[in-house]
């Protein structure tokens, strides 16, 4: 297992190199000028040229990319590079990029974790309920609700929730603040709806498939209680695809809470990423995207490890053939 | 199952009833009564007024750092860190009007306890004028020297360039200024001294903090000090208990600034009472805010939305043998005819009514000067271009447009293919909508779709404006934070060519010399005549087409009392003056 984890972590390196190269290339061709951004409109041509030289913007693309990865020395603009966990300071806020990310990521993690827990807590049991009563009225009702949950745009749901629960009913705040847990209920529910619907449908189809297996029939014929059959025999075997989807959803929630965070003015990593994009704050954009990519990869790795815990057959496969 | 459905329907029905019963007004439930919550439109830059100038952090710095003098909403001045306003009568302005003496308040301390002295004033102005990152150099370019007389006295010497063509930004020290400038009165002296960029900072603190100044270390003398800045979207200030003006006069103990970029959400949080003050609401829904008890105030602002032609353009410019000239000798140029034809197709009146644009919150404007500024031309004086315009059609005069268009030579007309004119526009919602409106009006007026609208990032447009390359027209806006005509004139002063502020590269001797007269005079009458002459000539040449002056719109919760903007008619509020009415 440890070799497998080490191998997976090593596999992250080419993924991250690819991500950084892609993001850096996109930023490079974007028509924005960090030197102008730093100096404002009134800079003289000489000051502008000096600023470009100081920031290394006059260097070829590949040199700039390598500097982004491994840093360069300069009394004002120098930094150690992404490899050493330093991307310098934000052009806009003049604060260290990683400091900003670390101040925002826990907020996003809180929101995403809450949304995932809610999705699992409601999505999986409803999926099981639907699967145990296939094509019944209740199954159809939940199927329709799942379709709605999956197809309604997040921003629209967010605005409707704000209108009803904040503006009209006055039950919950419209503006979110991680220090006030009540205030994150609305964004959490908004964010969870889509993944809840997906998990519900995935659980239903996975359970239906398992419920038709011979070993389920055998368990029932043995006279086991239906609840035991569902919990111990069906659900455990149906969990692998559910965990996969839940893991992917968590990764997406960590990186894709952008709209929800913006609408609820929540100070997460999605908010600082979008603000950075609006303001063409290159170090902040690069830092945020790389951080999210790393998080996404780590979550996927954690999901793969969880397979082994849920299904011993997977653990055997990961050990490799002929090894016990 | 029927039971489940019945319960579900009942829940929906009850929720609906509650929803109907809502909207009774902003709620103060669970709000800390001592904390004022203010909306910011974007993440603030470092809280370092000498170097950074965007409005996001200006509102915060306005509470932390103080200037020598302040400006009231009626554009008169009051002393802040200075003991008195210098005047000729009190002997604090020299006989040649070029030296202002400021007696500084004693017993004023920065938030970290350091005493406020003349050294801090000299240091702050040195940073504004000579720091490589300073973005307010041109605004303060008439400062020739800031001299310490004693611990609590400074003299500010005003001047002008010996050679007007010399770039002020190239002066990097007081010695440079002494070398290239000569003493002169300066009309807007007090205006710029009351601008937030001249907030006084503590020399020792700034030097010791280095690059961390403005983010981790901030020290001013104002009524509030920085408490926490936990993430880019939230800044918390707390009352300065040792404020020289008296902490008991400061209504709220804390101010929390929250960044909310989406304007509909700003309306929502005003309605729920989660925030107290905002100026970035959606204008579509102001009536709902007022109906719910939120106070909305709207006043004439200082932001002009205008379009301009690139004088360096082959199609709409005005040059011969490679030289720009607006002396009138080249009126027969094809490019001049086309520019005037386009000018006479523009009617900004409908733009103001457009609900997704200004929704009535703007004034029609036929000159670059904002209403109330010295030199603003009232009405339509006979014999001036202003007499040509009327409230319904504004510049639009189809007969004149067609006549100018008909005067084009066939060879020039052949160049006018669809979308042959590049109209660059900053990539903001308002500017892009305005640019598309202008494009449509030109198409309707001339019968040919001449304009291609290209949204660009602002830094790219600034670079283009410096060189005059790559565009024929631009639609943008200009904000005059000093509330003085001189700063507005930067947009069409020939001396500003190459700085990125005069994007039309317009230069006319009458205009340039009028601006000089207005700038270097303290006599209000002389200044008015000079700026009026500049406006008349500018609109005769039709190099720019000012369209609307946007209102400054605030919304605030009733608990903060009557709210008025600070000086500059900008989106700045003297928050410490607010009264807490419970």
pLDDT at B577 over 70: no
Nearest residue in A to B214, CA atom: A94
A265 to B260: CB separation less than 8 angstroms, yes or no: yes
B262 to A265: CB separation less than 8 angstroms, yes or no: yes
- Which of A36, A162, A164 lies at the smallest CB-CB distance from B15? A164
- Which helix H or strand E contains A10, and what residues bound it? helix A2-29
A168 to B463: CB separation less than 8 angstroms, yes or no: no
Residues A144 and A25 in one domain: no
What domain range is B263 assigned to?
35-39+222-294+557-577
pLDDT at A316 over 70: no
Higher pLDDT, B136 or B86: B86
- A237: closest CA among A309, A310, A314, A308? A310
Nearest residue in A to B29, CA atom: A170
- Which helix H or strand E contains A182, and what residues bound it? none
C-alpha distance from residue B33 to each of A57, A112, B252, B253 (Å):
49, 31, 8, 9
Residues B442 and B315 in one domain: yes
Q: How far apart are CA A156 and CA A175, in angstroms?
A: 16
Higher pLDDT, B133 or A270: A270
B215 to A94: CB separation less than 8 angstroms, yes or no: yes
- Which helix H or strand E contains B64, and what residues bound it? helix B55-64
Distance from CA of B44 to the nearest CA of A (A): 7
Residues A69 and A110 in one domain: no
The pLDDT-based confidence of A317 (bands split at 50, 70, 90) is low
CATH of the domain at B240: 3.40.190.10
CATH of the domain at A305: 1.10.3720.10
- What confidence tens digit (pLDDT) does each residue in A196-224 have? 999 999 999 999 888 888 888 888 888 88
| Tokens 């004034």 belong to residue | B363
pLDDT at B29 over 70: no
Residues B127 and B227 in one domain: no
Q: How many CB atoms lie within 10 A of CB B35?
A: 15
Q: What is the pLDDT of residue B576?
A: 65
Residues B571 and B540 in one domain: no
- Domain membership flag for residue A197: yes
- Domain membership flag for residue A163: yes
- B277: closest CA among B576, B563, B53? B563
Distance from CA of B500 to the nearest CA of A (A): 6
- Domain membership flag for residue A296: yes
Average pLDDT score over residue span B432-437: 97
What domain range is A51 assigned to?
17-84
Residue B133 in tokens: 């990152």
Q: How many CB atoms lie within 10 A of CB B239?
A: 21
Q: What is the pLDDT of residue B340?
A: 94
Average pLDDT of chain B is: 87
Q: Which chain A residues touch B499 with a CB distance below 8 Å?
A: 41-42
* Pairing label, strands B421-426, B451-456: parallel
- Domain membership flag for residue B266: yes
Residue B473 phi/psi, 5° resolution? -145, 160
- Domain membership flag for residue B57: no
Residues B249 and B352 in one domain: no
A36 to B46: CB separation less than 8 angstroms, yes or no: no
Distance from CA of B131 to the nearest CA of A (A): 11
C-alpha distance from residue B47 to each of A120, A146, B131, B145, B324 (Å):
44, 48, 16, 25, 41
Residues A63 and A136 in one domain: no
Q: Which chain A residues touch B211 with a CB distance below 8 Å?
A: 76, 89, 94
Average pLDDT score over residue span A286-296: 86
Residue B216 in tokens: 């981790």
B272 to A107: CB separation less than 8 angstroms, yes or no: no
3-state secondary structure of A52: helix
Distance from CA of B456 to the nearest CA of A (A): 8
* Pairing label, strands B421-426, B362-364: unpaired
pLDDT at B144 over 90: yes
- Domain membership flag for residue A89: no
* A 188-247 near B (Cβ less than 8 A): none
The pLDDT-based confidence of B26 (bands split at 50, 70, 90) is very low
Instruction: Please report, rounded to a whole number, the percentage of residues in chain B having pLDDT higher than 70.
Output: 88
Q: How far apart are CA A177 and CA B233, in angstroms?
A: 10
Q: How far apart are CA B228 and CA B213, in angstroms?
A: 14
C-alpha distance from residue B29 to each of A171, A193, B274 (Å):
10, 28, 9
Higher pLDDT, B436 or B41: B436
A32 to B459: CB separation less than 8 angstroms, yes or no: yes
Distance from CA of A37 to the nearest CA of B (A): 6
A39 to B264: CB separation less than 8 angstroms, yes or no: no
Q: Among A153-162, B392-401, B569-578, name the one with the lowest average pLDDT.
A: B569-578
Residue B24 phi/psi, 5° resolution? -85, -5
Instruction: Give the mutation candidate from B139, B457, B466, B502 for the A interface (greatest A CB count, under 10 A).
Output: B457
Distance from CA of B200 to the nearest CA of A (A): 20
DSSP for residue B258: E
Residues B379 and B516 in one domain: yes
Q: How far apart are CA B34 and CA B247, in angstroms?
A: 14
Q: Among A286-300, B349-363, B425-439, name the one with the lowest average pLDDT.
A: A286-300
Residue A175 in tokens: 């503006």
Q: How far apart are CA B535 and CA B531, in angstroms?
A: 6
Residues B570 and B424 in one domain: no
Q: Among A59-68, A105-114, A290-299, B481-490, name the one with the lowest average pLDDT.
A: A290-299
Higher pLDDT, B225 or B51: B225
* A 81-100 near B (Cβ less than 8 A): 89, 92-95, 100
The pLDDT-based confidence of B128 (bands split at 50, 70, 90) is very high
A40 to B135: CB separation less than 8 angstroms, yes or no: yes
C-alpha distance from residue A62 to each of A32, A66, A201 (Å):
18, 6, 46
DSSP for residue A163: I
- B141: closest CA among B175, B177, B102, B195? B177
The pLDDT-based confidence of B567 (bands split at 50, 70, 90) is low
B383: left (phi over 0), alpha (psi -120 to 50) or beta: left
B53 to A40: CB separation less than 8 angstroms, yes or no: yes
Distance from CA of A59 to the nearest CA of B (A): 19
Residues B568 and B529 in one domain: no
Residues A301 and A235 in one domain: yes
The pLDDT-based confidence of B504 (bands split at 50, 70, 90) is very high
Residue A322 in tokens: 């002929």
Most confident of A240-254, B59-73, B384-398, B426-440: B426-440
Nearest residue in A to B27, CA atom: A170
The pLDDT-based confidence of A232 (bands split at 50, 70, 90) is confident
The pLDDT-based confidence of B570 (bands split at 50, 70, 90) is low
Q: How far apart are CA B31 and CA B28, in angstroms?
A: 6
Residues B200 and B287 in one domain: no
* Alpha-helical runs (H) found in B468-508: 485-488
Q: Check if A252 contacts B (Cβ < 8 Å).
A: no
A169 to B18: CB separation less than 8 angstroms, yes or no: yes
Please, which residues bridge with residue B101 across strands?
B155
- Domain membership flag for residue A8: no
Distance linking the first and last C-alpha atoms of chain B = 51
Of A84, A117, A141, the residue at which a domain comes to its end is A84
Residues A41 and A143 in one domain: no
Residues A200 and A253 in one domain: yes
- What confidence tens digit (pLDDT) does each residue in A94-120 have? 889 988 999 899 999 999 999 999 999
Of A26, A52, A84, the residue at which a domain comes to its end is A84
B19 to A51: CB separation less than 8 angstroms, yes or no: no
Burial B362-386 (b: 16+ CB within 10 A, else e): bebbbbbbbeebbbbbeeeeeebbb
Count of A–B CB contacts within 8 Å? 154
- What confidence tens digit (pLDDT) does each residue in A251-282 have? 888 875 888 999 999 999 999 888 888 887 88
Average pLDDT score over residue span B480-499: 87
Q: Among A123-137, A221-235, B295-309, name the one with the lowest average pLDDT.
A: A221-235
Q: Which chain A residues touch B258 with a CB distance below 8 Å?
A: 175, 265
B211 to A41: CB separation less than 8 angstroms, yes or no: no
Q: What is the pLDDT of residue B21?
A: 43
Nearest residue in A to B44, CA atom: A93
Radius of gyration of chain B (CA): 26
- Domain membership flag for residue B237: yes
Query: What is the total count of domains within chain A?
Result: 2
Distance from CA of B476 to the nearest CA of A (A): 14
- Domain membership flag for residue A1: no
A31 to B4: CB separation less than 8 angstroms, yes or no: no
Q: How far apart are CA B271 and CA B292, in angstroms?
A: 7
Q: What is the pLDDT of residue B445?
A: 94
C-alpha distance from residue B429 to each of B358, B363, B425, B455, B518 (Å):
11, 19, 10, 10, 35
Residues B258 and B322 in one domain: no
Residues A40 and A133 in one domain: no
- Which of B169, B232, B260 lies at the smallest CB-CB distance from A93? B232
- Domain membership flag for residue B542: yes
| Tokens 């000539």 belong to residue | B537
Q: Which chain A residues touch B23 with a CB distance below 8 Å?
A: 167-168
Q: How far apart are CA A218 and CA A173, in angstroms?
A: 53
CATH of the domain at B114: 3.90.76.10
- Domain membership flag for residue B303: no
Q: What is the dihedral of CA A45, A46, A50, A52, to 10 degrees?
A: 10
pLDDT at A5 over 60: yes
pLDDT at B182 over 60: yes
A33 to B463: CB separation less than 8 angstroms, yes or no: yes
Q: How far apart are CA B216 and CA A100, in angstroms?
A: 12
A41 to B463: CB separation less than 8 angstroms, yes or no: no
Of A62, A84, A106, the residue at which a domain comes to its end is A84
- Which of A93, A163, A173 lies at the smallest CB-CB distance from B215? A93
Instruction: Give the max Cα distance, chain B.
Output: 94
Please provide the DSSP assignment of B155-178 as one string.
Answer: EEEEEEESSTTS-GGG--SHHHHH
The pLDDT-based confidence of B328 (bands split at 50, 70, 90) is low
**Length, in residues, of chain A:** 324
Q: How far apart are CA A304 and CA A7, in angstroms?
A: 12
- Domain membership flag for residue B247: yes
Q: How many CB atoms lie within 10 A of CB B562?
A: 12
Higher pLDDT, A137 or B499: A137
- Which of B132, B230, B457 lies at the smallest CB-CB distance from A103? B230
Residues A224 and A294 in one domain: yes
Average pLDDT of chain A is: 84
Residue A42 in tokens: 């009134």
Do the Cβ atoms of B189 and B100 come closer than 8 Å? yes
Please, which residues bridge with residue B82 across strands?
B104
The interaxial angle of helices B334-343 and B398-406, nearest 10 deg, is 160
DSSP for residue B281: -
Q: What is the dihedral of CA B577, A92, B503, B469, to 10 degrees?
A: -170
Residues A73 and A106 in one domain: no
Residues A48 and A114 in one domain: no
- Domain membership flag for residue A224: yes
- What confidence tens digit (pLDDT) does each residue in B196-221 have? 899 999 999 999 998 889 988 999 99
Higher pLDDT, B224 or B301: B224
Q: Which chain A residues touch B262 with a CB distance below 8 Å?
A: 262-263, 265
- B63: closest CA among B579, B574, B580? B574
Q: Check if A166 contacts B (Cβ < 8 Å).
A: yes
- Domain membership flag for residue B186: yes
- Which helix H or strand E contains A5, and what residues bound it? helix A2-29
| Tokens 């005005």 belong to residue | B318
DSSP for residue B231: E
Instruction: Give the mutation candidate from B47, B206, B227, B462 for the A interface (greatest A CB count, under 10 A).
Output: B462
- Which of B20, B234, B500 lies at the smallest CB-CB distance from A41? B500
Q: What is the pLDDT of residue A40?
A: 64
Residue B301 phi/psi, 5° resolution? -100, -165
Average pLDDT score over residue span B78-95: 94
Q: Which chain B residues touch A38 with a CB distance below 8 Å?
A: 133
Query: What is the total count of domains within chain B?
Result: 3
Residues A180 and A311 in one domain: yes
3-state secondary structure of B274: coil
A47 to B169: CB separation less than 8 angstroms, yes or no: yes
Q: How far apart are CA A300 and CA A250, in angstroms?
A: 9
Q: Among A188-192, B253-257, B538-542, B561-565, name the one with the lowest average pLDDT.
A: B561-565
Nearest residue in A to B136, CA atom: A42
CA angle B370, B129, B501 (to 5 degrees): 40
Residues B338 and B399 in one domain: yes
Average pLDDT score over residue span B538-565: 85
B272 to A39: CB separation less than 8 angstroms, yes or no: no
Distance from CA of A305 to the nearest CA of B (A): 33
* Alpha-helical runs (H) found in B388-491: 398-406, 410-413, 429-446, 458-467, 485-488
Instruction: Give the mutation candidate from B21, B130, B209, B272 for the A interface (greatest A CB count, under 10 A).
Output: B272
Residues B278 and B388 in one domain: no
| Tokens 């999901």 belong to residue | A303
CA angle B560, B561, B563 (to 5 degrees): 90
Q: Check if A76 contacts B (Cβ < 8 Å).
A: yes
Residues B137 and B264 in one domain: no
Prediction pTM value: 0.85
pLDDT at B532 over 70: yes
Q: How far apart are CA A167 and CA A6, in angstroms?
A: 51
Instruction: Give the mutation candidate from A35, A43, A180, A186 for the B interface (greatest B CB count, under 10 A).
Output: A43
Q: How far apart are CA B430 and CA B551, in angstroms?
A: 14
Q: How far apart are CA B74 and CA B71, in angstroms?
A: 8
Distance from CA of A35 to the nearest CA of B (A): 9
- Which helix H or strand E contains A215, and what residues bound it? helix A214-221
| Tokens 């009351």 belong to residue | B194
- Domain membership flag for residue A12: no
Residues A72 and A110 in one domain: no
- Domain membership flag for residue B13: no
3-state secondary structure of A285: helix
- What confidence tens digit (pLDDT) does each residue in B227-238 have? 999 888 899 999
Q: How far apart are CA B82 and CA B153, in angstroms?
A: 9
pLDDT at A8 over 70: yes
């Amino acid at each position: 297992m440890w070799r497998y984890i080490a191998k997976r972590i090593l596999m992250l390196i080419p993924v991250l190199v690819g991500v950084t190269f892609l993001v850096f290339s996109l930023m490079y061709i974007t028509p924005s000028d960090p030197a102008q951004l730093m100096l404002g409109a009134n800079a003289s041509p000489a000051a502008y040229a000096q600023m470009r030289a100081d920031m290394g913007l006059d260097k070829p693309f590949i040199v700039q990319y390598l500097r982004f990865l491994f840093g360069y020395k300069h009394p004002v603009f120098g930094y150690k590079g992404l490899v050493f966990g330093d991307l310098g300071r934000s052009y806009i806020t003049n604060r260290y990029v990683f400091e900003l990310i670390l101040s925002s990521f826990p907020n996003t993690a809180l929101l995403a974790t809450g949304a995932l827990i809610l999705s699992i807590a409601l999505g999986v049991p409803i999926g099981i309920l639907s699967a145990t009563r296939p094509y019944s009225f209740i199954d159809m009702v939940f199927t329709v609700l799942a379709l709605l949950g999956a197809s309604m745009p997040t921003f629209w749901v967010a605005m409707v929730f704000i209108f009803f629960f904040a503006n009209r009913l006055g039950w919950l705040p419209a503006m979110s603040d991680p220090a006030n847990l009540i205030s994150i209920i609305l964004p959490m529910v908004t964010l969870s709806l889509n993944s809840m619907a997906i998990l519900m449908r995935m659980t239903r189809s996975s359970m239906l498939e398992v419920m038709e297996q011979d070993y389920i029939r055998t368990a029932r014929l043995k006279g086991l209680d239906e609840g035991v059959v569902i919990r111990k025999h069906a659900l455990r075997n149906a969990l692998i695809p559910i965990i996969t989807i839940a893991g992917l959803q968590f990764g997406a929630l960590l990186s894709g809470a952008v709209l929800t965070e913006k609408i609820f003015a929540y100070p997460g990593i999605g908010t600082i990423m979008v603000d950075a994009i609006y303001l063409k704050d290159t170090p902040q954009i690069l830092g945020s995207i790389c951080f999210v990519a790393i998080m996404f990869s780590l979550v996927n790795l954690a999901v793969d490890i969880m397979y082994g815990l849920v299904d011993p057959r997977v653990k055997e496969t990961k050990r490799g053939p002929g090894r016990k | 199952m029927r039971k489940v459905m019945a319960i579900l329907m009942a829940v929906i029905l009850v929720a609906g009833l509650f929803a109907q019963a809502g909207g009774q007004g902003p709620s103060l439930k669970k709000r800390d009564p001592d904390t004022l919550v203010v909306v910011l439109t974007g993440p603030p830059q470092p809280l370092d007024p000498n170097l950074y100038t965007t409005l996001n952090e200006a509102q915060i710095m306005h509470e932390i750092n103080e200037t020598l003098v302040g400006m009231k909403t009626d554009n008169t001045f009051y002393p802040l860190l200075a003991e008195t306003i210098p005047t000729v009568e009190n002997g604090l302005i020299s006989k040649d009007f070029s030296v202002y003496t400021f007696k500084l308040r004693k017993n004023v301390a920065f938030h970290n306890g350091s005493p406020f002295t003349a050294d801090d004033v000299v240091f702050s102005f040195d940073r504004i004028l000579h720091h490589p990152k300073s973005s307010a150099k041109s605004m303060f370019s008439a400062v020739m020297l800031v001299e310490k007389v004693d611990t609590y006295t400074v003299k500010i010497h005003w001047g002008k360039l010996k050679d007007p063509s010399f770039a002020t930004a190239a002066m990097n020290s007081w010695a440079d200024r002494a070398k290239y400038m000569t003493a002169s009165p300066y009309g807007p002296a007090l205006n710029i001294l009351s601008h937030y960029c001249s907030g006084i900072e503590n020399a020792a603190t700034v030097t010791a903090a280095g690059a961390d100044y403005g983010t981790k270390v901030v020290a001013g003398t104002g009524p509030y000090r920085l408490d926490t800045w936990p993430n880019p979207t939230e800044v918390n200030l707390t009352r300065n208990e040792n404020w020289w003006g008296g902490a008991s006069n400061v209504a709220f103990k804390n101010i929390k600034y929250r960044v909310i970029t989406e304007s509909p959400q700003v309306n929502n949080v005003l309605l729920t009472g989660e925030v107290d003050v905002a100026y970035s609401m959606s204008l579509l829904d102001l009536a709902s805010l007022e109906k719910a008890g939120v106070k909305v105030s709207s006043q004439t602002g200082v932001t002009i939305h205008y379009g301009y032609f690139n004088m360096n353009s082959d199609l709409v410019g005005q040059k011969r043998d490679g030289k720009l000239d607006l002396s009138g000798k080249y009126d027969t140029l094809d490019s001049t005819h086309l520019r005037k034809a386009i000018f006479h197709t523009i009617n900004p009146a409908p733009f103001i009514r457009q609900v997704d644009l200004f929704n009535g919150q703007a004034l029609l404007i036929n000159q670059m000067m904002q209403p109330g500024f010295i030199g603003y031309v009232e009405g339509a004086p006979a014999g001036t271009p202003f007499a040509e315009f009327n409230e319904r059609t504004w510049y639009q005069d189809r007969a004149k447009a067609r006549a100018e268009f008909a005067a084009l030579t066939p060879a020039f007309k052949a160049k006018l293919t669809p979308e042959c004119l590049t109209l660059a526009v900053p990539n903001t919602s308002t500017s892009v909508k305005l640019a598309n409106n202008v494009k449509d009006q030109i198409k309707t007026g001339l019968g040919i779709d001449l304009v291609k609208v290209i949204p660009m990032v602002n830094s790219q447009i600034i670079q283009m404006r410096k060189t005059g390359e790559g565009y024929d027209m631009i639609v943008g806006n200009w904000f005059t934070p000093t509330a003085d005509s001189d700063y507005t004139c930067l947009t069409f002063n020939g001396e500003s060519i190459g700085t990125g502020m005069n994007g039309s590269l317009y230069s006319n001797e009458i205009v340039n010399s009028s601006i000089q007269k207005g700038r270097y005079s303290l006599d209000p009458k002389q200044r008015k005549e000079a700026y009026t002459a500049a406006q008349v000539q500018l609109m005769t040449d039709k190099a720019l087409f000012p369209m609307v002056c946007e209102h400054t719109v605030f919304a605030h919760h009733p608990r903060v009392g009557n709210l008025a903007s600070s000086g500059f008619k900008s989106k700045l509020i003297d928050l410490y003056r607010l009264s807490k009415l419970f």
